[in-house]
Amino acid sequence: MNGPLLELTGVTRQFGGLKAVSDVTLSVPQGEVIGLIGPNGAGKTTLVNVITGVHPASAGTIRFAGEDITRLKPWQAARRGIARTFQIVQPFPEMTVLENVAAAAMFAGGVRYGRDAEHEAREHLRFVGLGDYADRDASALTLAMRKRLEFAKGLAMHPKLLLLDEVNAGLNATEVDEALALIRAIAGRGVTILIIEHLMKVVLSLCSRIVVLHHGELIAQGEPQAIIKDPRVIQAYLGRRYAGTEASNGG
Amino acid sequence: MKRDALIAVVLFALVALVPFSGEAYWLRLGTTMLMYGVIAMSWNFIGGMAGYPSFAVAAFFGLGAYTGAVAQKFGLPMGLAWTCAGLAALAFAALLGVALLRLRGHYFAIASLVVAEVLRELVNSATELTGGGMGLNLPIPTMTSIDAQAAFFFYAMLGLVAITFAAMLLTTYSKLGFGLRCIQQNESAADMLGVDTTFYKVSAFMLSGVFVGMAGAVYASWVHYIEPPDVFDVLFSVKAIVMVLLGGAGSVFGPLFGAALFLSLEELVWRKFLEVHTGVLGLLIVLLVMFLPKGLLSLSNRLPWARKTR
């Protein structure tokens, strides 16, 4: 396929008078892992919601795999290959772990209802290391396991693009390392990933490119090493004083 | 699924023996119970499976009763009139569903509650067609005896129960039922996983309407005379919910069991508590919801021989 997988042009999302996302233009090439960072309230999650159709864009266009998806509903976006995980994990609590993943496979992944979906769900669960928990209720899992479940659900949707919203929040150091390995493995399957993340260790080790949002605006994008030295980014996170005099002029 | 179907067939076969008792009282009670069964199972589609607390049962019931009655007034044979009533309820549920199912929780409950009132006012004012507040007389079926008539309507309701049960069983074990369970547990997450939530919810609502509409028409033919406050009675909606809660929401036999239990309570308890029977009913519901939120049938899972069905 030619051109980027996901392409945002002048995307704005307003809530009343508040522009949560303002005129964002961005392209995500096929097969890359892009980091989306920014201070709290920068509009990162809103941007993901705009892409997936939860809060449709007020202005601008979103193209995915060459198709205009700006006005699509979440379930339509899901069937076209956009999967997301939630900052606060959202399994179906009274279903088994297996059923949770099977649901993703049959509704978004287009797998047939019944044994096919179940069979595929088991594979994904083994891949994320939850093979032994398939028949437990989803509500019985620990937080770290629920995050893995989110990965399995995401994979079962047969995604072209996976949007990871703070998948490492609330995990300890060991669990973060495990999640990192998992994300690498998923990327290794050729899935394009857009990851919202606060842990710089994760972002720096995974991403080929980083995009920075601040007050809903895209203030910088580029290679990780360049981004962490960018005065505008430092200023957004730490304020003018720390950004130094050059930064004040540049900002 | 096969096990459930088998149990149901045996159960319905046993129930079919009731008319041979020759007791008019049991026959009348049985017909009412079967009608409650249809209503409870129908509510289960939208309330139990999809988790939407619908109060629209009374609207579908009244609509079905009047559609059937008016159709018979214009000379349609009884069976055809009942079919018309089912189709009318189906179409009405589709239109209503698209409009109302955007609302969630209490908002949906209140909106669905109003529908029956609106229909009742419409029927009240369309005097030429429906007889308005004077009610509507239906042709008396051409049957040899009163007993034969009673048995006929008993079997008609039993047939309707069987159809509704089959539809519920098929839905429970199909992709539709699975999608509805997803919606019931977390609608936004279901949406994100690719479930066409609007389509699924409207389908559940249509299923919850069609059989109630037919039950309304059968009821109208059975009692020969209907009037708006009788068939648009909001108590139908309330009873449906109570019956399903009694038996167990979302389970296959729960609604039927709840319907039988509810009618037994109505018959046995009420006559002993004539003064405070609504109070007793309220108390029972509170106790059940507090201690057995999944209904009485959930008790069977605690028995040692009950195998886990998943």
**Pairwise CA distance, residues B35 & B219, whole Å:** 8
Average pLDDT over residues A48-65: 94
Structural domain span for residue B27: 2-302
CB contact under 8 A, A73 and B191: yes
B279 domain residue, yes or no: yes
Task: Dump pLDDT digits (tens) for B66-107.
Answer: 999 999 999 999 999 999 999 999 999 999 999 999 998 889
Cβ–Cβ pairs < 8 A, chains A and B: 67
pLDDT, position A130 = 93
- Cβ distance A157 to B193 less than 8 Å, yes or no, reads yes
Residue B292, pLDDT > 80, answer no
Chain B residues 271-310 with CB within 8 Å of chain A: 310
Q: Is the pLDDT of residue B248 over 90?
A: no
What integer best gives the mean pLDDT of chain B?
Answer: 88
- For residue B291, the model assigns a pLDDT of 79
**Do B194 and A104 count as a contact with CB atoms less than 8 A apart?**
yes
CA A154 to chain centre: 10
**Given pLDDT bands bounded at 50, 70 and 90, which one contains residue B306?**
very low
Alpha-carbon distance A135 to nearest alpha carbon in chain B (angstroms): 10
Q: What is d(CA A47, CA A119) in angstroms, rounded to the nearest whole number?
A: 34
Question: Per residue in B15-61, pLDDT tens?
Answer: 888 888 878 889 999 999 999 999 999 999 999 899 999 999 999 99
Residue B309 lies in a domain: no
Cβ A153–B195 below 8 Å, yes or no? no
Those residues whose C-beta lies under 8 Å from the C-beta of residue B247, and which sit 6 or more positions away, are B40, B253, B254, B255, B256, B257, B258, B259, B261, B295, B296, B297
Give the pLDDT of residue A244. Answer: 60
Please tell me the predicted confidence (pLDDT) of residue A120. Answer: 94
> Considering its fold, how many domains does chain B have in total?
1
Q: Write out pLDDT tens, residues B223-243.
A: 999 999 999 998 889 889 889
* Residue-range domains of chain A with CATH: 31-46+74-207+216-250 (3.40.50.300)
User: pLDDT tens-digit profile of A92-112?
Assistant: 988 999 999 999 999 998 898
How far apart are the CA of B114 and the nearest CA of chain A, in angstroms? 30
* Spatial contact of B151 and B19, defined as CB atoms under 8 Å apart: yes
Q: Is the pLDDT of residue A2 over 70?
A: no
pLDDT in tens, B206-225: 999 999 999 999 999 999 99
CATH of the domain at B23: 1.10.3470
Share of chain B above pLDDT 70, in %: 95
The residues with which A49 forms a beta bridge, in sequence order, are none
Asked, for residue B307, whether it belongs to a domain, the answer is no
- Closest among A90, A121, A89 to A103, alpha carbons compared: A121
Give Cβ neighbours of residue A238 (< 8 Å, ≥ 6 apart): none
Average pLDDT of chain A to the nearest whole number: 89
* pLDDT exceeds cutoff 80 at A7: yes
Helix (H) or strand (E) holding B42: helix B24-43
**A196-224 per-position pLDDT tens digit:** 988 888 888 899 999 999 999 999 899 98
Closest CA to A71 of A47, A92, A51, A86: A51
